[in-house]
Amino acid sequence: MNVADTKGRPLLAVEDLRVDFPTRKGLVQAVRGISFSLGREKLGIVGESGSGKSMTGRSILRLVGAPGQVSARRLEFDGIDIMSASEAQMRDIRGERISMVMQDPKFSLNPVMRVGEQIAEAYRTHQKVPREEARRRALDMLRAVRIRDPERVYRAYPHEVSGGMGQRIMIAMMLIPDPDLLIADEPTSALDVTVQLQVLAILDDLVTQRGMGLIFISHDLSLVASFCDRVIIMYAGRIMEICDAKNLDAAQHPYTRGLLNCLPQIDGDGSDLPVLQRDDAWLEHGL
């Protein structure tokens, strides 16, 4: 199911992506013409609330609801033009080629269906396989996200599992069709730090083993810096800076520097934190 050969061609190419919302008070530009490309890597998109990071993730799957309008000079996934794809083509892409994990698993799982059946169902919508085969695959997948007792979890209902477990189940469900690209929108912000890292480790391993691309959307700059390969820093719908995660400490843009500086440090001296000074000029000079 993996893409045959993508040498020299990025998995995802985005040029001049815009998302606009017409409101009574005028046009609100959630995303203002951003461009980036993604290979088989872990790409982080970091920004504060209202930076347009979630809208960017959603527009790749064409999931921006009305009245939002998405436009782009180029939005290409593995040679497919997302902007001009038909709704039927998009249904094939969603879930099978590109999956998305959201912040709160409780809203994404059907509350009256056993979680195992939901995972098996997700598999069967894309693969014409017998029930027994789907069940076996679902159990394998639960094991792959390191659930200790997959048989028991398979039979559980969503309300019977903890937040961390729920997020693992969501990841299992999203990864069972073996997608080429996973978009994770704040997948772990509702979880405790240790559980958060365990879930990220699962994602990390799966990305490495299967050669997927991962877009990791988060507000947590230090987490993204330690987890991803590259980081996109967004502010007010624009990209301020794209840099290698390893070199984030050497980032040049004042916004990135401001974000890094205003984080309290465990070994800091407890004096006043530097407050981020915003500059309207940043809106004009996005990447």
Partner 1 sequence: MIAVRNLDVIFGSGADRVHAVRDVSFTVAEGATFGLVGESGSGKSTVLRALSGLNPDWSGEISVAGEAQTPRRDKAFFKLSQMVFQDPYGSLHPRHTVDRVLMEPLSIHGFSDADRRIEQVLREVGLGPQFRFRYPHQLSGGQRQRVAIGRALILEPRVLLLDEPTSALDVSVQAEVLNLLQRLKKERGLTYILVSHNLSVIAHMCDHLAVMNHGAVVEELEVSQLKRHAPTHPYTRQLMTASLGYDRAAIDSFQDFGISE
The residue ranges that bind partner 1 (CB under 8 A) are: 48-49, 163, 192-198, 200-201, 204, 219, 221-223, 225-227, 258-259, 262-268, 270, 272-276
Which residue, 28 or 263, is less far from partner 1 as judged by CB? 263
Which residue, 79 or 274, is less far from partner 1 as judged by CB? 274
Closest approach, Cβ 42 to partner 1, in A, equals 10
Closest approach, Cβ 219 to partner 1, in A, equals 7
Full 3-state SS string of 209-264: HHCCEEEEEECCHHHHHHHCCEEEEEECCEEEEEEEHHHHHHCCCHHHHHHHHCCC
Which residue, 108 or 218, is less far from partner 1 as judged by CB? 218
* Element holding 32 (H helix, E strand): strand 26-38
Which residue, 98 or 228, is less far from partner 1 as judged by CB? 228
Which residue, 41 or 121, is less far from partner 1 as judged by CB? 41
* Element holding 14 (H helix, E strand): strand 12-23
- Residue 168: both structure tokens together: 């693992």
- Residue 162: both structure tokens together: 């903890």
Closest approach, Cβ 174 to partner 1, in A, equals 20
Residue 285 vs residues 74, 236, 253: alpha-carbon distances, Å: 20, 12, 11
Closest approach, Cβ 254 to partner 1, in A, equals 12
- Residue 35: both structure tokens together: 């461009």
